[in-house]
Amino acid sequence: MGSAAYPKTGRFMMGRLRHAMRDSEKQLLEDLVERTELFAAPQTVLNRGQCVDQSTMLIDGFIVRSITRDGKRHIISVHVPGDFVDLHGFALKRLDHDIVTLGHTKLGYVPHSRLVDVLRGEPHLTRLLWFSTLLDAAIHREWILKLENLNADGRLAHLIVELWTRLNFIGLAEPNSCAMPLTQVELADACGTTAIHMNRTVRAMREAGILDFARGRVMITDMERLKEVARFDDSYLYGDGDLHIGHALDAM
């Protein structure tokens, strides 16, 4: 049972702590989504500084968080289905970044008033929701580290292998390919480089037989080499690496 039994929230914590959720908690989370919305094209669904009274569950498609400074957009995270994208807005009320859909996207909205009820009556589910926001923070830290330590090739490689790994957690990756929602301009915005430099980087990695892009997908022709270029260690994603939680939170 997963996304079929819980069509709005079934991918939440898949590959990490889905096993720690009781059936009653899975149903409660599903019921928290009061309405859904479809987007056929990129759309800013939350602007920086906007006061919010709901948080967003990404059901299908992709979302980025972005910050624009001095006319330059910086993509600071990419979200995949099952992510509770702006759960931190429950505490902050106003975010310091924009939230933007990419292509065809389905969102579910959870009123903050419903989250108050969870906080008051569901301490275990509250802890799992808290875990999801801390997981976002772990991903942010890794992005900062990679932006500091890797060149453009490494940054692109890291972004792609991370995206593939996260999609694999939720059953949406093929053994050597996955959806690639970002254009080359957006890849540049996420990797801290220019579109021209990104174009050269993509061409070089294609010619090296590591990856290729076509029709909204990335084909990974040499996964091990890609991970080497990225210096990729998936521990920070809290999957099966050395930070794996296991059953430690099952009954807490």
Q: Is residue 200 part of a domain?
A: yes
Does residue 246 lie in a domain region? no
- If one counts the domains in the chain, the total is 2
Same domain, 164 and 138: no
Q: 106 and 174 in one domain?
A: no
Residues 30 and 126 both lie in one domain: yes
149-185 pLDDT, tens digit per residue, is 999 999 999 999 999 999 999 999 999 999 999 999 9
Same domain, 100 and 22: yes
Confidence (pTM): 0.95
Residue 82 and residue 12 in contact, taking contact as beta carbons nearer than 8 Å: yes
Confidence of residue 1 (pLDDT cuts 50, 70, 90): very low
The domain that contains 68 carries what CATH number?
2.60.120.10
- Shared domain for 182 and 197, answered yes or no, is yes
Verify that 140 and 179 share a domain, yes or no. Answer: no
Cα–Cα nearest to 21, from 241, 221, 251, 231: 251
Residue 8 lies in a domain: no
Q: Which domain range does residue 220 map to?
A: 151-230
| pLDDT-wise least confident of 15-19, 157-161, 208-212 | 15-19
Residues 73 and 131 in one domain: yes
Domain assignment present for 1: no
pLDDT tens for 67-118 read: 999 999 999 999 999 999 999 999 999 999 999 999 999 999 999 999 999 9
Question: Do 100 and 156 fall within a single domain?
Answer: no
- Reported as a single tens digit per residue, the pLDDT across 221-250 is 999 999 999 999 999 999 888 887 877 777
The CATH number of the domain where 163 resides is what? 1.10.10.10
DSSP 101-124: EEEEEEEEEEEHHHHHHHHHH-HH
Task: Give the model's pLDDT for residue 251.
Answer: 61
Is residue 42 located within the same domain as residue 158? no
